[in-house]
Every structure is written in C-alpha cells, then in structure tokens.
Amino acid sequence: MTGTTEPGLGKLSAPCVHCGLCLPACPTYSVTHDEVESPRGRILLLEAWGEGRVTADDVRPHLDRCIGCLACESMCPSGVPYAALLESGRAALGGPPFFWRVFLRHLLKRRWLVGAAAGLARLVRRVPPKEHRRPAFALRATARAGPSACSELVPTQPRARVGIHLGCVTPALFPRLAGDVALVLAKLGYLVEVPRRQGCCGALARHAGLAQEADLAPFAGCDFVVSAAAGCSATPGLTDVTRLLLDETEFAGARHMPLRVAYDAPCHLVHAQGVDAGPVLDRIPGITRVALPDDEDCCGAGGLYMQREPELARAVRARKLDALLESGAEAVATPNPGCMLWLWQGLRQRGANVRVVHPVTLLAEAWDAG
C-alpha cells in the first residue's frame, strides 16, 4: 500500500519543523541512534507515505518500534500532538497484526482468562508472587461493590464519592493494589465505590491504532473515577489516584517506615498528564527519597511493547536498571503496574534485592490497617 487517504495525518504533523530537539528525549533513538527510530524520523516517514514516496511496509516497523512514551511531546517547542499522530498513523496503517487485534478486542476483556494467564506466568516466575500480607479491610473492600465497599471507614461527611477503576490486567498482576487504593482513599475521607461490572478503559487498544472508548457507565454518580495505573488514568474521564494524594499536606496517623525509596516516573503520568507523584513519598513518615538520575526517562515497558518488541524494550530498560542499582535504593516506587512488572523482571534477572512497589501500597502499609 502506497500513500494514505487519511487527511488528519498531514494536519497533525504540520506543526513539526523537523528541528530535532525531540531526539535526545526519545528512548528508542537513544538506544539505536537511528533517525527512523526517532519522533522526527517517524513523522518524516508518515509524510513520505502520504505523498506516495514510500510504502506502508516501509513505515509500519518504525511506528511499531515507538514505545509511545510521549517524552517528545514534553520536549517539543512546536506543540506537535505526537500521541494523536502515532495512534492515527497506526490506525491508517491497518492497526496491529491479527493476534494482537483479537487479544485487545476480545481476550483482554475477559478477566478470568487474564487471571489464568497471570497464574501460569506466576508459576514460572514471570510475574511477581502474590503478597500475602494484606490488610483485612482491603480484602473486604475488593470483594464487594457499591458504597458498602468501605463500610468500616465511611466518613460522616465524605469529601467526595470516588469510584475505583480496576483495569483489565492490574487485578491479575497485583491483586493487592485495588484494596490498598480503597483503604487509602477511605482513610482520607472519601466515599469509595468499586463497581463489579466495569469495562476496559481502551488505552492499550487505542495506542495500537484501534478505536475504543472507555466504558464509564458503571461509575454514574461518582465525583471522580480513579485508577492506580498511569497508562489507564491518562484516558479522558479517569483520574490518577496520585492526584488525590498530592492534594494532602500530610498523612495523619501513618506510622514511621524507615525505607530508602527511589521514585520512577511513569511516562503516561509525567508526560501525558503532567503529574509528578514523587512528593507523595516525601509525605510518608520515615521514607527517604533517593535521587534517581533521569527518573523521567522511559523504562521500556510501554504496555504491550515489552511483549511485542522485547529486544528494544530490554535495551531501554537496561539503563534504568543501572541507575536504580547505583542509587542504593531499597525499593523503587512507580505508579503504573506495567512499569512495576517490567522493572521487577529486570531486577530479578540481575539478582537484585530491590522491592518494586506502588506508592499507594507504601502508604497503605504506613497506615497499617492489618
């Protein structure tokens, strides 16, 4: 296929002046030093395809190798909407291959199937083991739905009504996390709901070039719908849970937790949403935040990217692991389950005894509801 009839691509790429300031921010360019694996190179390829000078097969591999971290958007002085350009470009190229299309459209929505796959992966130590130290309250919170989900900590005058969006993969990979979110929000005076029948936010499908909107109907009546996954919370209609935590000046009643923690910023939190959740750690008593050089650099996870482009994803992750190990941190906190999984796998392969944890879990442990 030569050329595209998608008029939106030219409009989206028009602000790009090909200055190259995005190149140093791009993780794939930093690893390969190849122009076509940079935002500028990919934009030029899409423009060439639109003009009929190259074929779709010339363009597709390089768009596939883009992690979608959006560091280039944060760097770009011209305001190029690279996220929209990437997703539109992938859609115009026909979207993902058949297997990934079926996975994203059908298999991912079946939580029992995702849970079974995670269970098998856990047996061969491809995903973290379940953490058995779980607050009893949090266990009950995740097992029930509606306002009664946090009946033991329902405030007399709730600050707001908050629904927890569980996500498709997070409950299988990190089954404790939803309970920790429920506990922390209830402690802060929010009325918490966890609807049983809730759908996918559609982020993974959209990033691959498939049109899919978030189904937020089960959260009708909620003031906020929060997610503990930065990749999901970038979806319109969702709020990252760390945004609510950043509104707090202190966490009253939290116990002292002596721990050296490095914060690693998920790309879809810092670049797509402009949120730095690091200060949450500073407000947990006893935690010492360890400086992590280039903490806003991508770890290489990229949702399904670590499965679809494992070699390049590992190369990007290697530099992050080097920095983590040199920091002397006992734990690394990152508010995105995909990043958590990818970092955990890399640290385990290196034999490093560094815990990978969500900031919300650290706060739940500091409140020690067990």
The pLDDT tens digits of the residues spanning 246-261 come to 999 899 899 999 999 9
Look-up: residue for tokens 């939803």?
A: 178
Q: List helix spans (H) across the chain.
A: 7-13, 27-32, 39-50, 56-64, 71-75, 82-92, 98-102, 111-123, 136-143, 170-173, 177-187, 203-207, 230-233, 241-246, 267-270, 278-282, 305-308, 310-327, 337-349, 359-367
Q: Which residues contact 360 (CB under 8 A, 6 or more apart)?
A: 177, 180, 181, 184, 228, 241, 242, 245, 335
115: pLDDT confidence band, cut at 50, 70 and 90? low
Instruction: Please compute the mean of the pLDDT values over residues 167-188 and round it to a whole number.
Output: 89
The mean-pLDDT minimum among 2-11, 35-44, 305-314 falls in 2-11
Determine the Cα–Cα distance for residues 342 and 364; give it in Å rounded to an integer.
23
Return the pLDDT at 122: 61
Q: Estimate to the nearest angstrom the gap between the alpha carbon of 299 and the chain centroid.
A: 11
- Rounded to the nearest integer, the mean pLDDT of the chain is 86
Return the pLDDT at 149: 45
Return the closest-CA partner of residue 302 out of 360, 343, 274: 343
Instruction: Please compute the mean of the pLDDT values over residues 62-68 and round it to a whole number.
Output: 95
Return the pLDDT at 172: 83
140: pLDDT confidence band, cut at 50, 70 and 90? very low
Return the closest-CA partner of residue 129 out of 166, 174, 169: 174
Return the pLDDT at 109: 72
Residue 166 reports pLDDT greater than 50: yes
DSSP tag of 202 = -
Determine the Cα–Cα distance for residues 28 and 129; give it in Å rounded to an integer.
30
Return the pLDDT at 105: 78
146: pLDDT confidence band, cut at 50, 70 and 90? very low
207: pLDDT confidence band, cut at 50, 70 and 90? confident
Tokens of 77: 């002085």
Determine the Cα–Cα distance for residues 279 and 249; give it in Å rounded to an integer.
10
Residue 129 reports pLDDT greater than 80: no
Radius of gyration for the alpha carbons in the chain, expressed in angstroms and rounded: 21
The pLDDT tens digits of the residues spanning 286-302 come to 999 999 998 999 999 99
Instruction: Please compute the mean of the pLDDT values over residues 315-324 and round it to a whole number.
Output: 96
Instruction: Please compute the mean of the pLDDT values over residues 222-228 and round it to a whole number.
Output: 95
Residue 235 reports pLDDT greater than 80: yes
Return the pLDDT at 210: 84
Q: Which amino acid is at 108?
A: L
Determine the Cα–Cα distance for residues 2 and 303; give it in Å rounded to an integer.
29
Q: Where is 370: in which H helix or E strand?
A: none
Look-up: residue for tokens 């009893």?
A: 136
Return the pLDDT at 99: 81
Q: Give the CA angle between residues 344, 301, 273 to the nearest 5°.
A: 115
Q: Which residues contact 87 (CB under 8 A, 6 or more apart)?
A: 206, 207, 209
Q: How many CB atoms lie within 10 A of CB 269?
A: 25
